[in-house]
Structure 1
Amino acid sequence: MSTLTLNVLGPLRVGVDGRPVRLTTGRLRTLLVGLAMSAGRAVSVDQLTRIVWADELPADPRRSLQTYAARLRQAVGGRSIETVRAGWLLHADPDDVDALRFERLLDAATCAPDPAAERDLLVQALTLWRGEPFDGEESSWLREAERPRLLERYLAARERRIDIDIRGGVAAEPLIAELEALTGQYPLRESLWVRLMKLLDGRGRPAEALRRYETVRARIAEELGIDPSLELRALYARLLAGKPTNGPQWHIPFPVVPRQLPPELPGFAGRRTTLDTLDKLLVNRRVERGSGVAVVTGIAGVGKTTLVLRWAQRTAADFPDGQLYCDLRGFDSHAEPVTPHQAIQGFLVGLGVALRNIPADVDDRAAMYRSLTAGKRLLVVLDNARSAEQVRPLLTSGPGGFVVVTSRNRLNGLVVSGGAQPVPLGLMPAPEARELLQNRIRLLGIRHDLVAVDEIVRWCAGLPLALAIAAARLATGPEPPVAALTSGLRDPRSRLDLLDDGDEASSVRAAFSRSYRAVSREATRLFRLAGLQPGPEVSLLTAASLAGMPVRHARQRFTELTDMHLMVETTPGRYALNDLLRIYAREQAEEHGV
């Protein structure tokens, strides 16, 4: 097979066995670069479509891709591009793609045994840089996602190499000249100014360092309308006070790629519409038309976390800078919710910051988090959030990042004030619920008949948690397992007992209870009264009358219940419970005497 080389850290250069190859069509070049950035790994049709066309799709993207792929095979060799089940794959050694070799060397530098070895790897990587990545290419994906990410790694590597040179006693004047050039080229990168000002002060030139501060302060105010960072302002204050400036206020580490997502659960089924919605929100984010925050909400046990982990695994290639994950424990009955301060510490550790270097101050810690995530193509999953206040300090900035929040609370404050996109997740329709139950049964190796499966689906009311517990019951119950389970589920008095395997994390009743305890006492009373009504719905006027409260007050309590997904407003002023919640509401009514 021919040896294919691609250089993208500057104008595109393509070579086959040392012979230059010229590609004149822009989208043909973009397709090759898109495949090259994942050399040796399959790239899906959906991802290649986003890479080549963004939102200006042709009538038949798959056929157009096939046409371009055929032309690429003619240009670079018929065996270089292979059609596989997952999409297309470029047969090339990652080290023959300069951007991939660049990143491999940077990753290796983080594990170097000593500063000298680290510096050698950094210099090897930086030598590959010929100019602006993908210079001359018109793809919005390259321009808005890949280029900023590579540029961030390049600048971080330059800074790290400069830091090593400073600590190694390299003459200051050449480093000052280098930093002067870099601040001129990247005037809004404050970490470069910090290093320049410290070097000037260390050479006995504090007045020049103060002038540099005024230069960057005015530039930031003019272009961004904000003040300089906390670190830069603190350095300025030390210069004014005549105090030593050696040693940073906090250490920004060389970047690492976190992979914090928990494993995906087996047996996933359905949810195609919601997965497509998240895909579209990500595309909008890439073209700077979306906020970059999706809030997946739904009733307890509806499968929010399972869905998000499925989507995150499916789109992993879109987040080459890694994935951060935190279970915020917003509705945990045995532990306090995770504070933003605690969550940021876990994220900083995942990003490679040693515990001793994490600031104790809340604002400094948040500033470090924002600095490390700015501009990165990073996915942040904030699971089981309780409130918008718990989430806001954990949001990232810049076009590369994407945050997915899950909560049983609608988090309206995050949607209204933060521009987050709500992604409601409802109960599963019968076909999807049947597919999920059959997948779980198949994994457990249980024999079953379709009639029994349909009956179990009916009694589980489309709730994925209930279906998963029912499948586990079939694996451990008496013989014949299906008959015993369906018989018990028919009776409302034993249904929630059967959907409880003794573990609070795997109990429908316990899941409902955590939501129930999160609303006000007046709201829980309305919930219990609604469960006792004979029809499928209860009206606002009826509920207010039964509860003996003003209609306006009852409407506010119903809003609490619908925000927590304990009830659904089917039409204005009319509210309903699903079958399982109705049983739970009646249990609570009996326990409390209404």
Structure 2
Amino acid sequence: MEIAVLGPLELRGPTGEVVPVAGARLRSLLVLLALEPGRVVSAERLIDGVWGDEPPSGNALQALVSRLRRAGLVIEAASYGYRLVIEPEQIDAHVFARLAATGPGRALSYWRGDLDFPEVARAEAARLHELRLDAIKRSVTGAGAVPALEGLVTQHRLDEQLVALLMRALRAAGNPGRALEVFEQARRRLAEVLGADPSAELRALHVELLQDRPSGNLPAEVSSFVGREADVSTVRRLLGEHRLVSGPRRACEC
């Protein structure tokens, strides 16, 4: 069997069919066991995760475990808890974590939606979210990534790596002016929230965009004459001729 927790919980049978897991408490119990495959999870943690501040009386935990067994899962009882007998590769969260470092694109294909983890598994959820964000940063590039990156920058407004990725994607899409706006927005957020300036990497990218911007998009610096040596020579020649003509005329007027 396989268990998918990176999105709405799914228990899949040997031929891929979805096995119903009815009830929020039963789903919470399965998530907690699936996050630690092959290891004993204490009854205290399971009760806390399933019932929170209202622990049950009697054998309620044992009854839920029995329901999971009837669904086809092998769950062994230990002296202080329960162990789900399953290989890590049969659980999407573990495959995702393994692939995140070496194959971020493949890893992201396992992520199906919002995580529905019990409160006691908040740290694990945060770890998976960080792995997902890192995988996105290493796999999403190019002009076509602009919409996805704009959404991520909105969610992670102080993440300078995402800002840099969005600026590069906008440049690749032929919109350097918008990329400069993104930098300015990030600069203001960093100053307001953290009292800090953009990183050296982000400032260097900003300079690149200023140097590469087309003259028809944003006005060029008027003090720059790079690549305009012929114009400079003409101006100097005309100024010289003007001095020759105007000099004697001023002398006559005196």
* TM-score normalised per structure 1: 0.32
- Cα 1:127–1:202 change in 2 (3 A) is closer
Aligned identity (percent) is 35
Matched, 1:85 2:79: yes
Report how far residue 192 of structure 1 moved. 1.0
Report how far residue 185 of structure 1 moved. 5.0
Which structure: larger Rg? 2
Report how far residue 180 of structure 1 moved. 2.8
Task: Quote the Cα distance in structure 2 between the aligned partners of 1:73 and 1:133.
Answer: 24
- Cα 1:202–1:17 change in 2 (3 A) is closer
Aligned amino acid, residue 67 of structure 1: A
Alignment of 1:246-261 (within 5 A): none
**2:94 corresponds to:** 100
Aligned amino acid, residue 213 of structure 1: F
Matched, 1:27 2:29: no
- Aligned residue pairs: how many? 209
Cα pair 1:210 1:236 within 8 Å, conserved: no
Task: Quote the Cα distance in structure 2 between the aligned partners of 1:148 and 1:29.
Answer: 19
Q: Please report the RMSD computed on the Cα atoms of aligned residues, expressed in angstroms.
A: 3.1
Which one of the candidate residues 43, 47, 50 is aligned to 2:48? Answer: 50
Cα pair 1:206 1:239 within 8 Å, conserved: no
Report how far residue 71 of structure 1 moved. 2.0
Which one of the candidate residues 135, 160, 183 is aligned to 2:138? Answer: 160
**2:64 corresponds to:** 68
Deviations 1:15-74, CA, capped at 9 Å, x for gaps: 2223322122111110011001111121122322332234433346xx332121122212
Task: Quote the Cα distance in structure 1 between the aligned partners of 2:151 and 2:42.
Answer: 41
Task: Quote the Cα distance in structure 2 between the aligned partners of 1:204 and 1:40.
Answer: 51
Deviations 1:545-593, CA, capped at 9 Å, x for gaps: xxxxxxxxxxxxxxxxxxxxxxxxxxxxxxxxxxxxxxxxxxxxxxxxx
Cα pair 2:45 2:120 within 8 Å, conserved: no
Task: Quote the Cα distance in structure 2 between the aligned partners of 1:229 and 1:17.
Answer: 54
Cα pair 1:39 1:94 within 8 Å, conserved: yes
- Cα 1:218–1:55 change in 2 (3 A) is farther
Which one of the candidate residues 186, 191, 194 is aligned to 1:227? Answer: 194
- Cα 1:239–1:126 change in 2 (3 A) is closer
SS in 2 for 1:10: coil
Deviations 1:319-353, CA, capped at 9 Å, x for gaps: xxxxxxxxxxxxxxxxxxxxxxxxxxxxxxxxxxx
Report how far residue 128 of structure 1 moved. 0.9
Alignment of 1:466-485 (within 5 A): none
**1:7 corresponds to:** 4
Cα pair 1:30 1:51 within 8 Å, conserved: yes
Task: Quote the Cα distance in structure 1 between the aligned partners of 2:188 and 2:22.
Answer: 43
Cα pair 2:180 2:209 within 8 Å, conserved: no
* TM-score normalised per structure 2: 0.68
Report how far residue 181 of structure 1 moved. 4.0
SS in 2 for 1:76: coil
- Cα 1:7–1:203 change in 2 (3 A) is closer
Task: Quote the Cα distance in structure 2 between the aligned partners of 1:54 and 1:146.
Answer: 17
Aligned amino acid, residue 104 of structure 1: R
Task: Quote the Cα distance in structure 2 between the aligned partners of 1:89 and 1:35.
Answer: 7
SS in 1 for 2:64: helix
Matched, 1:39 2:65: no
**2:144 corresponds to:** 174
Aligned amino acid, residue 155 of structure 1: L
Cα pair 2:6 2:113 within 8 Å, conserved: yes
Cα pair 2:160 2:199 within 8 Å, conserved: no
**2:14 corresponds to:** 17
Aligned amino acid, residue 136 of structure 2: R
Report how far residue 124 of structure 1 moved. 1.8
Task: Quote the Cα distance in structure 1 between the aligned partners of 2:98 and 2:203.
Answer: 39
SS in 2 for 1:43: strand
- Cα 1:188–1:22 change in 2 (3 A) is farther
Cα pair 1:133 1:150 within 8 Å, conserved: no
**2:237 corresponds to:** none
Structure 1 residues not aligned, in runs of 5+:
110-117, 166-171, 246-594
Task: Quote the Cα distance in structure 2 between the aligned partners of 1:28 and 1:203.
Answer: 48
